[in-house]
Structure 1
Amino acid sequence: MFDKILVANRGEIAVRIMVACEELGVDTVAIYSEADRNTGHVNYADEAYNVGPAPASESYLDQETIIETARQADADAIHPGYGFLAENAGFARRVEETDGLTWIGPPSDAMEQLGEKTKARSIMTEADVPVVPGTNEPVESVEEVRELGDKYGYPIAIKAEGGGGGRGMKIVHSEENVEDTLESAKREGDAYFGNDSVYVEKYLEAPKHIEVQVLADEHGNVRHLGERECSLQRRHQKVIEEAPSPALSDELREQIGEAARRGVSEAEYTNAGTVEFLVEDGEFFFMEVNTRIQVEHTVTEEVTGLDIVRWQILVSAGEELAFDQESVEIEGHAIEYRINAENPANDFTPMPGLLETYNPPSSIGIRLDHAINQGDEIGGDYDSMIGKLIVDAPDREQCLERSKRALKHFTVEGVHTTIPFHRMMLDDDVFVAGEHTTKYLDEELDEEDIAAAVEQWGSEPGPATGNTAAATHEMTVEVDSKKFDVLVEGDLKSTAAAGTGAETGSSGDSASQQAAGAIAAEMQGTILSVKVSEGDEVDQGDVVCVLEAMKMENDVVASTSGTVADIPIAEGDSVDMGDTLIVLE
């Protein structure tokens, strides 16, 4: 067994991994960016190391610094969690090739085959697993995409090879949209996964999204742990997941589970992974393999009683799976609700802010995976997740009722959250019947109902906090004849003055007045592109610029018609909530 594991991630998944390590008697090492200095995963770990500035590209994606930090901390393994470098085969290979370090995850070769979606499609075809019609090689040009659109018929999906969780996936509805959509998919894939290669497949109109959890060891044992229902999505990002799926027959459930086992066996895959399928009209099609732990692994743990993260660690340490397929039993029902700092009434736009009140529920059948406390700030540098509420019960009906109680008593103030949306869904006939598809939330659910739920159960966010990071100072201290480099927060002179009773003042600068007709940023983020020029005539609803926030692209639209009078921003600019982006007259 390992002595010390570095967790190359942040937030609730980092804490989740550390919990498993703690129960195994393994010490943990956290890494953090300057934006995460005082966050929950840093406080939970046995040791913590700063790996760079807030941008993920300079911290959580800095492969060389992370490996060097692991060596500095005398860690003997690295667990990547999900997101960031978790599905980066190149990083896994660097860890594998570093003396004294073990990669907690599938082998880099298997990651490369299954993580790149085109290769995965070829492997699944060899394993006699049905795949969605599409390309098994990356596409490079607008002309190729248009030819495929003519072949399969629109809509088609352009997907980043290294993508997952809906990121890097863009839908093309007509030939006219091909160029912009291809550019957007490549840009998002490069920004989040460091890989701008994309492929194309036929876009199924109204499928179910079903995924199968698998575990495989280095001794030839492959197990599946049943399926999860992940069809409730907004912008291809999952919102609510459950296990088992209420929509599968026993026959289809068995077929999908065995197909997942065949596919990962063909790839000589080990460790945890998820095989994702689309189900439509009684048929299932392979979509992709996620070569990592999933956000929603929690519901599988609740209905199987198996600790998937613990088994990730044990398998990487060379241990054999201690159970056969026949002993995997699905008992009861579990549902996970993603509690995100987003405004459901505004197309689930991420809304960073300060958690003025944070009072989660407790009692029987409730699990909460999180890494925050009241008073913490949900920043705009990473994703919008506050935590995950997992509810379990003997059956789905009771699980839904128990969920109502849990969400009713989940109090968050200071930021918009998805809690009102979740409460609304528990009274939605289609969701309660388990008949929702991947299109239900984006295309069928009434936006006025969502707005009414936010009005009834939501809370008004507090004022934008902006950049509240305290000034820091590096200094050297000596303890027991040993020198340590430390980082001190705050103004050292002011701190010293306060200690002697001196008073310090405040600049008291007030926010500048926004220009009349201004279109303001609704969140912190980075300008990806500007779609208008001075003098252009725009209509209400026209896209004027694209803002990236929390690793998602958000179209900024004109709320009224007018003429573009001023554009105080440019591509690449960082903006804060409330900043003026475009001025109309």
Structure 2
Amino acid sequence: MTDKTFEKVLIANRGEIAVRVMRACTDIGIETVAVYSEADRHGSHVRYADEAYNVGPARAADSYLDHEAIIDAAKRSGADAIHPGYGFLAENATFASKVEATEGVTWIGPSSDGMADLGEKTKARKIMDEADVPIVPGTTDPVDEPEEVEAFADEHGYPVAIKAEGGGGGRGMKVVHGPEAVEEELESAKREGEAYFDNDSVYLERYLETPRHVEVQILADHHGNVRHLGERDCSLQRRHQKVIEEAPSPALSDELREQIGEAARRGVSEAEYVNAGTVEFLVEEDPDRDPSEPLGPETNFYFLEVNTRIQVEHCVTEEITGIDIVKWQLRIAQGEQIDYDQADVEIDGHAIEFRINAENAAEEFAPATGGKLETYDPPGGIGVRVDDALRQGDDLVTDYDSMVAKLIVSGGDRTETIARARRALAEYEIDGIVTIIPFHRLMMDDDRFVDGTHTTKYLDEEIDRSRIEEAQAQWGRETATAETDEEVVQRQYTVEVDGKRFEVELEDRGGVPIQREPSSEQTQRPERAGPGDDDSESATVSAEGETVTAEMQGTILEVNFEDGDEVAAGDVLCVLEAMKMENDVVAEYGGTIAQVAVSAGESVDMGDLLFVIE
């Protein structure tokens, strides 16, 4: 590959990861281009970038997932590379191939072929098997029929994991505990795969009972050099979604750590992979293990998947290695060669990352449905890093994911890091929205977490839920603050010329807001209608009976009943996708469907009418 120098990079993402990539670009003198949806007009990633382009409405499929709109923005801005961040199009091989085919634009990531090989889990399992990397017992070809799942269970036993080939982070994965649920869960996994990853192929794996989630960060260049940067432990998860990650793992002996790291290198080398990636493993925890005795080299570990992109939790690896992973993504894409050997990678100290999500942990981590950051005052001091995008006064955008920020704390060892984390979490002040900071504070004094003996099932199946409720009551902040008199009127305007975004902000002390009509080349920032606004497009009740409304903003994936159908308490009326998770809307009582107010594919806001039941 011929070396090149990027002058301008478009970041095909939003929020904190977009800002993170922009900062890396700025550090090495590269200009940045943001893209944004209608919902993100006020986003910090838009303010941070040198240029910004509107790529569509709030719905991700019509904006951040629109291949042509993103590539068109790159062309119009003169960007010579696209960085996808994580999520959205980051692991979409079709999009990567389109970028590769675009003259003058470089894809910052693995090749589309490499992404297809390792991004589809069945192909990845074959590659890893050839590289002598241990794999969980499972299928190497896609599964289509319930009978195939039942046959696999007859051989390996229940529970069985049905996993979308393009999935990750628990999305597109369903666990089947018995034959009665096979058909429903197979269809659900295929549907999530199609909805989130444009791929409804699924495969099967034996579901491990006491797994730890351990992953290895990889960097590989175009010159055949492959380096691993140590492992991360991501075992603290709820519904297969990570909430706290750390590096190195508190559970591994040095011998086991070396085995897993070298297995990751072998697998990536076999695949001829280039750029940053993460090789994920499941490690079987010993439930009777003494916390002072780490897992030894005889411990079973299995390849799980390769994430062909930067990870949310890459920050902890950066803190303990001193290596800027995003900057190396840029350098590798420019054709540069990794200039250090594997032996030069040194692990120094410990780091823990806390996902500061707008969720209520006491209510099954239910995502916030709106709000404004009335107070936003992140912590500081030695060993404290905050990756964020929102600022005080910003509205919470709920159209995508629930992450507000990432708090990364590091120290000389794990004990010091946990102590420092207690302090940093106590200093983190956020008012106006609910967050999981109280949950994180609880975990810093949780025996299982502090001992490092927790598994991926700890939060979902073992922890005493009342402790989380008590933490929320003790440390949770109010989500609404008293109104104050405005002494300063700030008039904010968004101006778009040929789709390119410019901002004008005016302050008038003691003035009153004024209204002005937008001209053909100037668009005033619109106010989005809420669930109770007069111009809301929510359906109205046209039948008598009990109403069923949406508990959160999202998209209807399927509707299971029609007018006149009989339903019983507990029946799933429809499936609502919100925050990248499927949520069943269940009938609380039996009766007859008198009105169906929504259809599959329709977006709804909190409080919108879904059904009327007589």
Q: Do the two structures share a fold, i.e. TM-score over 0.5?
A: yes
Q: How far apart, in 2, do the equivalents of 1:83 and 1:437 lie?
A: 25
Q: Residues 332-371 of structure 1: matches in 2 within 5 Å?
A: 332-354=349-371, 355-371=373-389
Q: How far apart, in 1, do the equivalents of 2:350 and 2:553 lie?
A: 38
Q: Residues 272 and 566 of structure 1: is their aligned pair in 2 closer, same or farther, counting only changes over 3 Å?
A: same
Q: Residues 292 and 508 of structure 1: is their aligned pair in 2 closer, same or farther, counting only changes over 3 Å?
A: closer
| Equivalent residues of 1:12, 1:371 under 8 A apart | yes
**Which one of 528, 548, 551 corresponds to residue 522 of structure 1?**
551
3-state DSSP of counterpart to 1:377? coil
| Equivalent residues of 1:353, 1:414 under 8 A apart | no
3-state DSSP of counterpart to 2:132? coil
2:344 counterpart residue number: 327
State the shift of 1:109 in Å: 1.4
**Which one of 483, 495, 510 corresponds to residue 516 of structure 2?**
495
Pick which of 374-383 and 211-220 moved more: 374-383
State the shift of 1:192 in Å: 1.4
State the one-letter code of the partner of 2:469. A
CA offsets, 1:227-258, max 9 Å, x none? 00001111111010000000001110000000
State the shift of 1:562 in Å: 5.0
Q: Residues 67-86 of structure 1: matches in 2 within 5 Å?
A: 67-86=71-90
Moved over 6 A (4+): 470-477, 483-489, 510-516
State the shift of 1:565 in Å: 6.1
TM superposition score normalised by structure 2: 0.86
State the shift of 1:410 in Å: 1.2
3-state DSSP of counterpart to 1:204? coil
State the shift of 1:259 in Å: 0.2
Q: Residues 56 and 537 of structure 1: is their aligned pair in 2 closer, same or farther, counting only changes over 3 Å?
A: closer
| Equivalent residues of 1:352, 1:384 under 8 A apart | no
**CA RMSD of superposed structures (Å):** 2.9
| Equivalent residues of 1:352, 1:415 under 8 A apart | no
Correspondence 1:444 to 2:444: no
| Aligned pairs, number | 562
CA offsets, 1:116-169, max 9 Å, x none? 110000000000000011111111222222222222211111111111111111
Q: How far apart, in 2, do the equivalents of 1:496 and 1:73 lie?
A: 28
Correspondence 1:43 to 2:47: yes
1:266 counterpart residue number: 270
State the shift of 1:262 in Å: 0.2
Q: Residues 545 and 343 of structure 1: is their aligned pair in 2 closer, same or farther, counting only changes over 3 Å?
A: farther
| Equivalent residues of 1:29, 1:45 under 8 A apart | yes
3-state DSSP of counterpart to 2:516? helix
3-state DSSP of counterpart to 1:495? coil
1:575 counterpart residue number: 604
Pick which of 125-134 and 190-199 moved more: 190-199
2:331 counterpart residue number: 314
| Equivalent residues of 1:21, 1:310 under 8 A apart | yes
Pick which of 525-534 and 202-211 moved more: 525-534
2:485 counterpart residue number: none
State the shift of 1:518 in Å: 4.4
Correspondence 1:552 to 2:556: no
CA offsets, 1:523-548, max 9 Å, x none? 11122234566674644x66443211
| Equivalent residues of 1:217, 1:315 under 8 A apart | yes
Q: How far apart, in 2, do the equivalents of 1:448 and 1:556 lie?
A: 25
Q: How far apart, in 2, do the equivalents of 1:413 and 1:522 lie?
A: 22
Q: How far apart, in 2, do the equivalents of 1:508 and 1:258 lie?
A: 57
2:476 counterpart residue number: 458
Q: How far apart, in 2, do the equivalents of 1:195 and 1:259 lie?
A: 28
State the shift of 1:557 in Å: 3.9
Q: Residues 528 and 97 of structure 1: is their aligned pair in 2 closer, same or farther, counting only changes over 3 Å?
A: closer
Q: How far apart, in 2, do the equivalents of 1:103 and 1:221 lie?
A: 19
CA offsets, 1:322-351, max 9 Å, x none? 111111111111000001111111211211
Q: How far apart, in 1, do the equivalents of 2:192 and 2:610 lie?
A: 21
State the shift of 1:89 in Å: 1.3
| Equivalent residues of 1:4, 1:76 under 8 A apart | yes
State the shift of 1:185 in Å: 1.2
| Equivalent residues of 1:356, 1:374 under 8 A apart | yes
3-state DSSP of counterpart to 1:263? helix
Q: Residues 219 and 509 of structure 1: is their aligned pair in 2 closer, same or farther, counting only changes over 3 Å?
A: closer
| Equivalent residues of 1:219, 1:320 under 8 A apart | yes
Q: Residues 508 and 212 of structure 1: is their aligned pair in 2 closer, same or farther, counting only changes over 3 Å?
A: closer
Q: How far apart, in 1, do the equivalents of 2:501 and 2:250 lie?
A: 55
Q: Residues 254-293 of structure 1: matches in 2 within 5 Å?
A: 254-281=258-285, 282-293=299-310
3-state DSSP of counterpart to 1:402? helix
| Equivalent residues of 1:529, 1:570 under 8 A apart | no
**Which one of 105, 128, 135 corresponds to residue 131 of structure 1?**
135
Q: How far apart, in 1, do the equivalents of 2:533 and 2:347 lie?
A: 60
Q: How far apart, in 1, do the equivalents of 2:156 and 2:264 lie?
A: 26
2:524 counterpart residue number: none
Q: Residues 121-520 of structure 1: matches in 2 within 5 Å?
A: 121-281=125-285, 282-354=299-371, 355-462=373-480, 494-495=515-516, 518-520=547-549
Q: How far apart, in 1, do the equivalents of 2:595 and 2:556 lie?
A: 12
State the shift of 1:561 in Å: 4.5
CA offsets, 1:190-229, max 9 Å, x none? 1111111111111111200000001111111111000000
Q: Residues 449 and 535 of structure 1: is their aligned pair in 2 closer, same or farther, counting only changes over 3 Å?
A: farther
Q: Residues 543 and 100 of structure 1: is their aligned pair in 2 closer, same or farther, counting only changes over 3 Å?
A: same
State the shift of 1:391 in Å: 0.5
1:500 counterpart residue number: none
| Equivalent residues of 2:19, 2:48 under 8 A apart | yes
Q: Residues 584 and 429 of structure 1: is their aligned pair in 2 closer, same or farther, counting only changes over 3 Å?
A: farther
State the shift of 1:476 in Å: 6.5
State the shift of 1:11 in Å: 0.7
Q: How far apart, in 2, do the equivalents of 1:296 and 1:207 lie?
A: 19
| Equivalent residues of 1:210, 1:277 under 8 A apart | yes
Q: How far apart, in 2, do the equivalents of 1:220 and 1:382 lie?
A: 37
CA offsets, 1:414-433, max 9 Å, x none? 22211111111111100110
TM superposition score normalised by structure 1: 0.90
Q: How far apart, in 1, do the equivalents of 2:57 and 2:549 lie?
A: 26
Pick which of 451-460 and 560-569 moved more: 560-569
Pick which of 53-62 and 246-255 moved more: 53-62
State the shift of 1:57 in Å: 1.1
Structure 2: tracts of 5 or more residues without a match: 286-298, 482-490, 506-512, 519-528
State the one-letter code of the partner of 2:309. R
| Equivalent residues of 1:353, 1:461 under 8 A apart | no
The alignment-based identity, stated in percent, is: 63
CA offsets, 1:343-363, max 9 Å, x none? 111211211312222221111
Q: Residues 487 and 404 of structure 1: is their aligned pair in 2 closer, same or farther, counting only changes over 3 Å?
A: closer
1:466 counterpart residue number: none
3-state DSSP of counterpart to 1:171? strand
Q: Residues 65-104 of structure 1: matches in 2 within 5 Å?
A: 65-104=69-108
State the one-letter code of the partner of 2:516. T
Pick which of 72-81 and 347-356 moved more: 347-356
2:523 counterpart residue number: none
| Equivalent residues of 1:33, 1:50 under 8 A apart | yes
Q: Residues 448 and 584 of structure 1: is their aligned pair in 2 closer, same or farther, counting only changes over 3 Å?
A: farther
Q: Residues 110 and 495 of structure 1: is their aligned pair in 2 closer, same or farther, counting only changes over 3 Å?
A: same
3-state DSSP of counterpart to 1:378? coil
Q: Residues 453 and 521 of structure 1: is their aligned pair in 2 closer, same or farther, counting only changes over 3 Å?
A: farther
CA offsets, 1:364-383, max 9 Å, x none? 11111111112222223111
